[in-house]
């Protein structure tokens, strides 16, 4: 990413930026404020004011090495460029040793673009490009970006688009291999494929308008077949898979997907309707008005209610066990029993005591 911004600054201007940044580091930020006041109208110092330019970002990085460059804009894929892979693996390895590990390098970049331009659908061409991508998985993000940009060129022939889509399919299928950083291709393609499939929907609409229904249906069926393979392989998440299919068929757009979705209200489940089995019951319905009155429950008499004593088996009334029924005290020899505490008549018993 740093190389991109430095490469977009002319060599003569880069030397001037290095000289100015060196003086600012020596004399402090006060010199920078002075230059902004004095050189505002000087086009040579436009890099101090024109933000979002390569010279501005490079100067900020020269002054402060911790400055982080923004993501460079993706360059458009040139479909009319050179179509032969003129570089060799040895040249590219030498270039990789002298550059950052996560970058393709100019030679490798040109080779990948050349393979994409010459792709006609032959299996050997797709396999060669897939091998290139797997061996350079350290630069997975740049490889993914170049392939997806090549898929979004308006004037690319349809067979070449389908061949490049098959290349994406092969890379995703082999992203589970043990090669280092190959697994990162899945996540990188997931972030870029929605733009590709929205472009495919536009291609389908254009084919319907200018080439007829047959050509449009053949194109959409070929892309759908690739999506079906991805679904069987489970190379993408189910959410991304659903989004890609909806984008392809024009059921949504990237703008609509970016809008916040309102939470769906829970639907109430309808009660199941029980249908008749189909046979007729042999029981007849009974009219409630014709039902007989229910018999009253049988009551049992727990005891005699007239107060008379219960007769013994011989017909004589049963005497009270504790005493006479008439309330008289029971005697054994015919004499009435004395009260233990006193006389029966209620008078106190007298005791004779000798007094000395």
In this structure, the answer to whether residues 58 and 104 fall within a common structural domain is: no
Q: How confident is the model at residue 356 (pLDDT cuts 50, 70, 90)?
A: very low
Residue 311's DSSP bridge partners are: 317
Check whether residue 25 and residue 135 sit in a common domain: no
Instruction: Say yes or no: 39 and 93 in one domain.
Output: no
- What digits encode the pLDDT tens for the residues 305-331? 555 555 555 555 555 555 555 555 555
DSSP three-state, residue 117: helix
pLDDT at 151: 95
Residue 186 has pLDDT above 70, yes or no: yes
Number of domains in the chain: 2
pLDDT at position 227 is 96
Last residue of a domain, one of 258, 280, 310: 258
Q: Are 29 and 163 contained in the same domain?
A: no
- Which residue in 66, 87, 61, 51 sits closest to 4, CA to CA? 61
Q: What is the CATH number of the domain that holds 27?
A: 1.10.10
Q: What is the pLDDT of residue 355?
A: 47
Residues 113 and 48 in one domain: no
> Residue 54's domain spans which residues?
2-63
Output phi, psi for 143, to 5 deg.
-65, -45
C-beta pairs of 149-157 under 8 Å, 24+ apart in sequence: 149/74, 149/75, 149/76, 149/77, 150/77, 150/79, 150/113, 150/116, 151/196, 151/199, 152/77, 152/195, 152/196, 152/199, 153/76, 153/77, 153/79, 155/79, 156/79
Under 8 Å between Cβ of 244 and 194: yes
pLDDT of 106? 85
Position 239 pLDDT exceeds 90: yes
Residue after which a domain boundary falls, among 258, 289, 308 = 258
Is residue 302 situated within a structural domain?
no
Does residue 33 belong to any structural domain of this protein?
A: yes
What are 19-55's pLDDT values in tens digits? 999 999 998 889 989 998 998 888 899 888 888 788 8
Establish if 118 belongs to a structural domain: yes
Res 347: pLDDT:
52
Query: 183 in a domain, yes or no?
Result: yes
Within the chain, residue ranges assigned H as helices are 2-7, 11-27, 29-38, 54-63, 89-98, 106-117, 123-135, 140-151, 158-173, 184-210, 213-233, 238-248, 254-258
Whether residues 154 and 52 share a domain: the answer is: no
Q: How confident is the model at residue 102 (pLDDT cuts 50, 70, 90)?
A: confident
CATH of the domain at 93: 1.25.40.90
122 and 53 both lie in a single domain: no
Mean pLDDT, rounded, for 176-195:
93
Tell me: do 165 and 41 sit in the same domain: no
| Tokens 């005591």 sit on residue | 353
DSSP per position, 123-192: HHHHHHHHHHHHHTGGGHHHHHHHHHHHHT-TT--HHHHHHHHHHHHHHHHTTTSSSTTTTHHHHHHHHH
Q: Do both 166 and 220 map to the same domain?
A: yes
Q: Pick the last residue of a domain from 258, 281, 313.
A: 258
Indicate the length of the chain as a whole number.
356
Q: What is the largest CA-CA distance in the chain?
A: 160
Contact 144, 193 (CB under 8 A): no
In a domain, 68, yes or no: no
Domain contains 53: yes
233 with 104, same domain? yes
pTM over 0.95: no
CA distance 128 to 185: 17
Q: Look at residue 276 and tell me if it is in a domain.
A: no
Express each pLDDT in 157-180 by its tens digit.
999 999 999 999 999 999 999 999
Return the pLDDT at 340: 47
Give a yes or no: residue 93 inside a domain: yes
Of 93, 109, 89, the closest CA to residue 101 belongs to: 93
- For 338, the token pair is 């004395």
Question: Strand pairing partners for 317?
Answer: 311
Say whether both 172 and 36 belong to one domain.
no
Asked if 59 and 103 sit in the same domain, the reply is no
- When pLDDT is cut at 50, 70 and 90, the band that residue 3 belongs to is confident
Q: Which residues contact 60 (CB under 8 A, 6 or more apart)?
A: 67
């Amino acid at each position: 990413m740093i190389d991109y911004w430095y490469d977009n600054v002319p060599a003569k201007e880069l030397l001037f930026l290095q000289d100015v940044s060196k003086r600012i580091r020596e004399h402090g930020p006060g010199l920078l404020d002075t230059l902004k006041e004095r050189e505002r109208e000087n086009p040579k110092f436009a890099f101090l004011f024109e933000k979002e330019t390569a010279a501005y970002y490079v100067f900020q990085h020269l002054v402060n090495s911790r400055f982080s460059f923004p993501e460079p804009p993706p360059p458009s894929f040139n479909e009319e460029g050179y179509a032969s892979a003129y570089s060799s693996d040895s040249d590219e390895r030498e270039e990789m040793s002298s550059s950052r590990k996560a970058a393709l390098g100019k030679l490798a970049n040109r080779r990948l673009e050349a393979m994409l331009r010459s792709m006609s659908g032959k299996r050997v061409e797709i396999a060669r490009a897939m091998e290139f991508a797997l061996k350079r998985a350290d630069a997975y993000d740049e490889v993914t970006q170049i392939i997806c940009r090549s898929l979004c060129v308006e004037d690319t022939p349809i067979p070449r688009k389908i061949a490049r889509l098959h290349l994406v399919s092969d890379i995703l299928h082999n992203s589970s291999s043990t090669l280092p950083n190959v697994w990162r291709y899945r996540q990188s393609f997931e972030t870029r494929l929605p733009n590709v499939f929205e472009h495919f929907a536009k291609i389908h609409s254009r084919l319907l308008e200018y080439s007829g229904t047959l050509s449009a249906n053949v194109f959409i069926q070929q892309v759908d077949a690739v999506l079906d393979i991805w679904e069987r392989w489970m190379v993408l998440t189910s959410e991304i898979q659903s989004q890609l299919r909806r984008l392809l068929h024009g059921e949504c757009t990237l703008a609509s997907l970016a809008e916040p979705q309102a939470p769906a209200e829970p639907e109430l489940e309808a009660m199941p309707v029980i249908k008749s089995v189909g046979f007729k019951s042999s029981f007849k319905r009974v009219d409630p008005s014709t039902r007989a009155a229910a018999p009253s429950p049988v009551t049992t008499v727990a005891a005699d209610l007239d107060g008379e004593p219960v007769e013994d088996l011989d017909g004589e009334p049963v005497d009270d066990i504790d005493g006479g029924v008439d309330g008289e005290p029971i005697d054994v020899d015919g004499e009435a029993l004395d009260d233990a505490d006193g006389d029966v008549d209620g008078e106190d018993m007298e005791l004779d005591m000798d007094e000395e």
